Structure 1
Amino acid sequence: MRFPGKLCILVLYFLGSTFSSRAQVKTSRPNIVLINMDDMGYGDPTCYGGGPYQTPQIDALAASGVRFTEFYAAQAVCSASRSALLTGCYPTRIGISGALDHNAKFALNPNETTLPEMLKSVGYATGMVGKWHLGHKQPYLPLQNGFDEFFGLPYSNDMWAYDYNGERWKDTSFWRAKYPPLPLIDGNETVKIIDGFDDQDGLTSAYTQRAVSFIQSNHKKPFFLYFAHSMVHVPLGASAKFKGKSGAGLFGDVMEEVDWSVGEVIKVLKANKVYDNTIVIFTSDNGPWLTFGNHAGNTGGLREGKGTAWDGGLKVPCIISWPGHTKAGTVSNRLLTNMDLLPTLADICKAQLPQQKIDGVDFKAVLLGDQRAVPRDEFAYYYDRNNLKAIRKENWKLVFPATSQTYGPPATIGGDRYPGKYAQADIPMALYDLSTDPGEDRDVQAQYPEIVKQLSEIANRYRKALGDGLTNSVGTEIRPAAQLQ
């Protein structure tokens, strides 16, 4: 049977429209690559002032999207920060604190909705490469928390029975000597033991290869890759092709290798023609571990570092590139946190938010260039198990009296793999204007008593909801972590 010419054209138009519609549906949800560095300071990438090593791939990512200058981790320590990123909650709300190891008695509660679980519900393939740190054994590993694939370590790469010179601890009574072998896990099974510095040197390369493989295998459907590097956490490790090449010591070598890794991810996205439909996020879990001296990064002039509630411990680099949506070369000074990624991605990917209360806010408008949008104007600085150390409102930060860890005198700074020693300092109440004093050096509470009062009232609201160990307050909205047997 022959169709009249006009009818044939109509049929072809209908079929074309149908296929076009299907193609649009297929690409309506962008892919997501979330690169989370370990202990990379605010001032470490060269686009944030780092060097003398080079990070051209990270810099190119910033040039193609938005570089945030007021982006914070929810806490200045590994497990707590990662729980916030994956759940959109203050760690205090969900019972997570510190850095979990093989002796941990708690883990991320399976009742919490994670970012990969949220994305899986709308059809995403989900993969994780790198450091997990939210529960070291089943049923608390990544595959039980929304990921289809996992390749990496259950916790930090220094949680092993080795001295800082790479040899096993000879004093078996020392607490570090009691660590079990450090397992590299594929799925739920250990496939290799990280045994000495040579194995540490290969982590970035092995992770990158697996990340590239995941993208290649899943590029025909929406995918979420959570790439959580073990570097630049100590012990530092760089492969032979990067070791000694930066001219800036081992830390510089490691920075250049993780920069190469970012480039490999971008390269495979482009090779598989999905780069234009992929959101790439680059950030860090907390500030630098300064006690390691030349094996640690820098805060870009901010006060203190990892393990403190000063901005050097919590303010981190964050770059987000989304071709066709983010304006290239944009710099945003909006206050945001890693908790805010989950609700923002929920909006973009048309996924439902978790049913339980979260603390993150949706900043899609900022990402798309709305200069008037202010999705967040306050932040609670929690640290230790549940101590409210400070409150930020706009550019004001009110610090509460507490005894805190410090890298200042009489602490010492180490180097060449060996750490110095922390000290403790009694911190008085102080008010800082971060717009003119980002180093938190000039207390202006006497000049602004009304600001002190306002921030103190905000603090009381957090104490009521989330608690505060400094004032023996028990929060009414906190949820328990999972308890391990």
Structure 2
Amino acid sequence: MRRREVLKASAALAAALLPAASEAAPARPPNIVLILCDDLGYGDVGAFGGKMIRTPNIDRLAAEGVALTDYYAPANLCTPSRAGLLTGRYPIRTGLGYEVIMQNDDRGLPLSEVTIARALKPDYATALFGKWHLGHRGEAWPPTRHGFDRFFGIPYSHDMAPLSLFEAQVGSDEVKSSPVDYPTLQQQFYEHAERFIEDNRERPFFVELALSAPHLPEHPHAPFKGTTPAGTYGDVVAEIDSLVGRLMARLKDLGLERNTLVVFTSDNGPWFEGSAGGFRERKGGGGFDGGYRVPFIARMPGTIPGGRRVDSIASGIDLLPTFCAMAGRPIPPGVELDGKDITQVLVAGAPSPHDQIVLFDNENVVGVRTQRWKYIGAAYYRGLMMPMALMGYQELYDARADPAESYSVAETYPDAAAEMKARLDKAKAEFAPLKHKDIPPVFKALHQALEHMED
């Protein structure tokens, strides 16, 4: 039955994306809108079990598309996660696998990296509206140097200062800046995205709507303030939900609904607020799922069947090869991708093309996930990263029976534990040469300041 479903969905996808034999010109590739939230938790969305915050528009997106229940952000922190998502590569390969880029940080996404926006050129109009956080100095800035035609947004998280709004357009060296009005920030990001979609309705477009919410501190737009039982965090999630509803309505009004792939997800799990949905730990919390497992929804009526929930493992590193495949674009030549094309997962609920997904905490390999098993190599305890091997203890979890990672079954399944440990050791050996030899200077200064505060 599964094979017949895959074949049937493949035919539907081909019919939607490829030209009919009688047509003289190729059919237009699909538009792509990627909505990337900041620190949104798995349990903050109704479609993924959330109870405290009503998210009717996001839930409708899931009801009309596919929800991936076992989707992993590329990292448990912002900068590395965004680097992995845009390049299809584990963040350590990009040089941005360690912590996040700070205000006085000189690091940035190298121009040698091929982003989704660049991979879709020259066929697509491309834009990023919202949070960048992949470098705001030197050649990494602005995002228009990385394949985006337009940028309107902020250089890093909205809890960092000084903060301004910036606007740039490809072909111009001018980068305009303006003051930030925090309560209207998400609204401004959306309005610029909607205007770009309207202006480019006659050609394929790729839009990344990189909202800077619900990252702390929350600044809900006035109409949403005090509207949920989950405090200002819930109010901001309700605002995000309303923007999803506005986008869906506008695509329908423009006649673009059936030819637009809309993807909704988050860069990592929740920070100090929000719900990890019963998963262990949170943003930055080692190898446990609470920092990585986030909502993922894909909707494209007529191509992606509605109402399907799929547990095939997937990751943000899969978006570049998947978008290229759906757009009929080749994979960037000479680039070592870690991501896989998950088109068949989305359109037919097919098994994952991944044999495993490697989980990093900064530049350290700390976990490996296969379809059934999850193996953790280290965990935080009292400010220390504790390698389990030094304690003579193995953490093997059955992801099907115990998604909360509460009970290690290493002694019950010794063969599986041995295989998963071998996977972890192999991944550590593979990526060890890519580690920085020293931590970035900005973090040396930060560590010294924190030590001084403790004294």
**What TM-score does the superposition give when structure 2 sets the normalisation length?**
0.85
Letter of the 1:366 counterpart: V
* Counterpart contact for 1:42–1:287, Cα < 8 Å: yes
Aligned to 2:167: 186
Determine what percentage of the aligned residue pairs are the same residue.
Answer: 37
| Aligned residue among 264, 284, 289 for 1:282 | 264
Q: CA–CA distance in 1 between the matches of 2:137 and 2:191?
A: 24
Q: Which deviates the most, 247-256 or 41-50?
A: 247-256
What is the correspondence of 1:193-342 to structure 2 with a 5 Å cutoff? Answer: 193-194=179-180, 199-290=181-272, 296-308=273-285, 309-342=287-320
1:112 aligns to 2:103 (yes or no): no
Letter of the 2:339 counterpart: G
1:395 aligns to 2:397 (yes or no): no
> Where does structure 1 lack aligned partners over 5 or more consecutive residues?
1-16, 161-180, 291-295, 411-422, 468-473
Letter of the 1:285 counterpart: D
Aligned to 1:433: 398
* Counterpart contact for 2:364–2:428, Cα < 8 Å: no
Q: CA–CA distance in 2 between the matches of 1:345 and 1:475?
A: 27
> Where does structure 2 lack aligned partners over 5 or more consecutive residues?
1-18, 169-173, 389-393, 443-455
Q: Secondary structure in 2 aligned to 1:43?
A: helix
Q: CA–CA distance in 2 between the matches of 1:248 and 1:335?
A: 30
Structure 1 residues 217 and 391: alpha-carbon distance in aligned structure 2, compared to 1, 3 A threshold:
same
Name the larger-Rg structure. 1
Aligned to 1:364: 343
> Which structure shows the higher helix fraction?
2
Q: Secondary structure in 2 aligned to 1:126?
A: strand
Q: CA–CA distance in 2 between the matches of 1:358 and 1:365?
A: 18
Aligned to 2:152: 151
Letter of the 2:345 counterpart: V
Q: CA–CA distance in 2 between the matches of 1:60 and 1:49?
A: 14
Aligned-residue Cα RMSD (Å) equals 2.5
Q: CA–CA distance in 2 between the matches of 1:20 and 1:424?
A: 65
Q: CA–CA distance in 2 between the matches of 1:375 and 1:247?
A: 40
Q: CA–CA distance in 2 between the matches of 1:118 and 1:464?
A: 30
What is the correspondence of 1:4-83 to structure 2 with a 5 Å cutoff? Answer: 21=23, 25-27=26-28, 29-83=29-83
Q: CA–CA distance in 1 between the matches of 2:74 and 2:143?
A: 20
Q: CA–CA distance in 1 between the matches of 2:127 and 2:91?
A: 23
* Counterpart contact for 2:271–2:283, Cα < 8 Å: yes
Give, in angstroms, the shift of residue 336 of structure 1. Answer: 0.3
Give, in angstroms, the shift of residue 21 of structure 1. Answer: 2.7
Letter of the 2:415 counterpart: E
Q: CA–CA distance in 1 between the matches of 2:110 and 2:354?
A: 26
1:383-405, CA deviations, whole angstroms, 9 ceiling, x for partnerless residues?
12x11111122221111145x2x
Letter of the 1:383 counterpart: D
* Counterpart contact for 2:106–2:135, Cα < 8 Å: no
Q: Secondary structure in 2 aligned to 1:287?
A: coil
Q: CA–CA distance in 1 between the matches of 2:186 and 2:267?
A: 17
* Counterpart contact for 1:85–1:339, Cα < 8 Å: yes
Structure 1 residues 400 and 483: alpha-carbon distance in aligned structure 2, compared to 1, 3 A threshold:
closer
Q: CA–CA distance in 2 between the matches of 1:53 and 1:464?
A: 43
* Counterpart contact for 1:215–1:268, Cα < 8 Å: no
Structure 1 residues 463 and 277: alpha-carbon distance in aligned structure 2, compared to 1, 3 A threshold:
same
Give, in angstroms, the shift of residue 142 of structure 1. Answer: 0.8
Letter of the 1:359 counterpart: D
* Counterpart contact for 1:463–1:475, Cα < 8 Å: no
Q: CA–CA distance in 2 between the matches of 1:85 and 1:357?
A: 14
* Counterpart contact for 1:380–1:391, Cα < 8 Å: yes
1:228-270, CA deviations, whole angstroms, 9 ceiling, x for partnerless residues?
0000001111111111123432112111111111111112211
Aligned to 2:95: 95
Letter of the 1:149 counterpart: R
Q: CA–CA distance in 2 between the matches of 1:77 and 1:210?
A: 26
Q: CA–CA distance in 2 between the matches of 1:206 and 1:19?
A: 43
Q: Which deviates the most, 35-44 or 446-455?
A: 446-455
Aligned to 2:451: none
**What TM-score does the superposition give when structure 1 sets the normalisation length?**
0.80
Q: Secondary structure in 1 aligned to 2:26?
A: helix
Q: Which deviates the most, 240-249 or 302-311?
A: 240-249
1:390-435, CA deviations, whole angstroms, 9 ceiling, x for partnerless residues?
1122221111145x2x6xxx7xxxxxxxxxxxx5463633111111
Q: Secondary structure in 2 aligned to 1:368?
A: helix
Letter of the 1:288 counterpart: P
1:125-153, CA deviations, whole angstroms, 9 ceiling, x for partnerless residues?
00110000101134212100000000000
Q: Secondary structure in 2 aligned to 1:120?
A: coil
Aligned to 1:458: 423
Q: CA–CA distance in 1 between the matches of 2:167 and 2:426?
A: 43
* Counterpart contact for 2:106–2:138, Cα < 8 Å: no
